[in-house]
Copies of this chain bind each other. A is one copy, B any other.
Amino acid sequence: MAQQKKMVEAITSMDEDFSKWYTDIVKKAELMDYSSVKGCMVIEPYGYAIWENIQKDLDARFKKVGVQNVYMPMFIPESLLQREKDHVEGFAPEVAWVTHGGQEELTERLCVRPTSEVLFCEHYQKVIKSWRDLPKLYNQWCSVVRWEKTTRPFLRSSEFLWQEGHTMHETAEEAEEETMRMLKLYEAFYRETLAIPAVTGKKTEKEKFAGAKATYTIEPMMHNGVALQGGTSHYFGDGFAKSFGIAFTGRDNTLQTPHQTSWGVSTRMIGAIIMVHGDDNGLVLPPRIAPIQVVIVPIAQHKPGVLEKSRELADRLGEQFRIKLDDSEQSPGWKFSQYEMQGVPLRLEIGPKDLEKNQCVLVRRDNREKIFVSLDELETKIPELLQAVHDGMYERALQNLHEKTFEAHTHEEFLDIAANKPGFIKAMWCGDSACEDKLKEETGGVKSRCIPFEEEHLDDVCVCCGKPAKHMVYWGRQY
């Protein structure tokens, strides 16, 4: 057994080197491969299957609230990008520029979209004429490019896959409601599909999106206490709409400007899944998005009946679950390690003795619990166990979030926690970005994550400057 296990190369333990543990998993679970294009990655079949399951689930949620998918061009002419001042300042430094088409130099440079607000606005300007045309609730699934200096698989890459929703509304109130509705939708998706709890709230002025009036965020905590900005929803007011001359005839026959939102999540979520749920044996996948929900491993498969029964089970269960039967010649021990590495939620073992008893063994990936189950009860037992795996994963992640969230009541305490206790810090803040800058510098990178929707009153004054506090803020390091 020990010898067999060696065949699946061990990965670095997370306590030893979290960062290396992460890259070991993405490589050894065959999620991605590096390419010769700096900062871009190849998403391999197993990684892409996770993304497809994410897309399917999220897309159904979008459609349920009336969102329609579209596709916008991947290029943005430089003059179009410049139409909204704050926006271009935020993005121009990190875009890829196309200057030549075929043999000819272009008369105007095109950037590869880093995000598509301006393209949606250009289209909306043409199709929104009356209040009857509103709301417009459009989304696109596509890849975007941001020329990053340092990159990391899934977490930060020069090109990444995402969805970006862009909506237009009759009133500011409706647009604000939409911004919140989509943030709540993301929160529900993280909880119900990815088994990931998170802090949600509003970004400070300093941290908000280029050109937005307000940015709301979902911030899950990774196992090592570091935050990941897991998704954002922006309220734009009518700023872009005015810059793009979008106007409609209102119910009262006056010409009005619509109010706008945008919201997005990306393949970063795969990074979050790895770092929230993974362990020293590899990936641990939430059952709802696992490409393989149950792997069937025959034991002593040369013995009469074992393979036949395994195949029969694979066919039978394949109608209801995503099943893989591994009847290759590798040893069961090798297979156990391999599918643990790939984070398969349930392993079904079946051998000659099980056949005699009309049973099999189900082993949970999350806690390695073994359960003997009658072959007649699999259709009801498996969904129960998948749900138990999901719940167990969520609970452990929630516990980690709680255990690694600290309160700081003084400047000294803030610095002490930042230096010694990885995680989130709850502390009061005066509302001045100078204090954000100062804390970030003093701690070597702790930034405001968000002002939560339900603030606690921890103290009367700002943890940094001692002036009257305006908000309670979650602080933390980020990927």
A residues lining the B interface (CB < 8 Å): 33, 35-37, 40-45, 48-49, 51-52, 68-77, 80, 92-103, 110, 112, 119, 122-123, 126-127, 138, 142-143, 145, 147, 158-159, 161
Contacts and interface: CB of A to CB of B under 8 A. Distances in A.
Nearest to A91: B102
A325 to B, nearest CB: 15
B101 A35 contact: no
A76 B37 contact: yes
Contacts of A40: 73-75
26 contacts: A33-B126, A33-B127, A35-B73, A35-B119, A40-B73, A42-B70, A42-B71, A42-B72, A43-B70, A45-B70, A45-B138, A49-B68, A49-B69, A52-B69, A74-B143, A74-B145, A93-B102, A93-B103, A94-B102, A96-B98, A97-B100, A99-B99, A99-B100, A102-B147, A112-B112, A142-B143
Given A97-B99, A103-B93, A123 B71 contact: no
Contacts of A147: 101-102
Contacts of A93: 102-103
Contacts of A37: 73, 75-77, 110
Nearest to A40: B73
A49 B145 CA distance: 25
B69 A48 contact: yes
A119 B36 CA distance: 9
Given A93-B102, A99-B100, A123-B42, A36 B77 contact: yes
Nearest to A43: B71
Contacts of A49: 68-69
Contacts of A101: 95-97, 147, 158
B44 A70 contact: yes
A229 to B, nearest CB: 21
B143 A42 contact: no
B33 A123 contact: yes
Contacts of A43: 70-71
A42 to B, nearest CB: 5
A143 B112 CA distance: 12
A437 to B, nearest CB: 23
Nearest to A138: B45
Contacts of A158: 101
Contact of A71 (B48, B73, B74, B127): B48
Most chain B CB within 10 A, of A99, A102, A145, is at A102
Contacts of A127: 33
A74 B159 contact: yes
Nearest to A160: B71
Given A93-B103, A97-B100, A72 B126 contact: no
B35 A48 contact: no
